[in-house]
Amino acid sequence: MTEREARPLRPDMFRDPDCSDRAQPFRVGGKWTAMVLRCLEDGRPRRFSELRVPLHWITPKVLTETLRAMERDGFLLRVVHEENPPRVEYTLTALGRSLLGPLDTTCAWARAHVPEVTEARAAYEGG
């Protein structure tokens, strides 16, 4: 097989226990997760209403789903304070905080390559 010939994809390529569908943290790539990470990166507990301020374009339902998924994946901690009315606060876990470095790297890459991505999108839409 030459370099130019494509090797077929292996049917078991995702059966590696270290790279199974259960191990991959799909929420990292979720549409709103990175923004929630940014909102919580200072370490202060935040209430839902506080998160809604910078994320005002996200519907409450979608923000709730995002927070639940992040909690399920171990990225944030949801604490319910027994008050009337109940007060709920969200903070990043150590696992969630470990995503901030890769997020910084991704943001730096995006800033550096925005012109190329914009060009590619324009060419795609025009062609």
In 3D, which of 48, 29, 57, 58 has the Cα closest to residue 91?
Answer: 48
120 by DSSP, 3-state: which?
helix
- Provide the residue ranges of all domains of the chain, joining segments of one domain with +: 19-126
Peptide bond into 85 cis (omega under 30): yes
**Helical (H) or strand (E) element with 89:** strand 87-92
pLDDT tens string 38-61: 999 999 999 999 999 999 999 999
The reply to whether CATH 1.20.1250.20 applies to domain 19-126 is no
Encode pLDDT of 13-37 as tens digits: 667 665 555 555 444 657 899 999 9
Instruction: Please give the model's pTM, rounded to 2 decimal places.
Output: 0.77
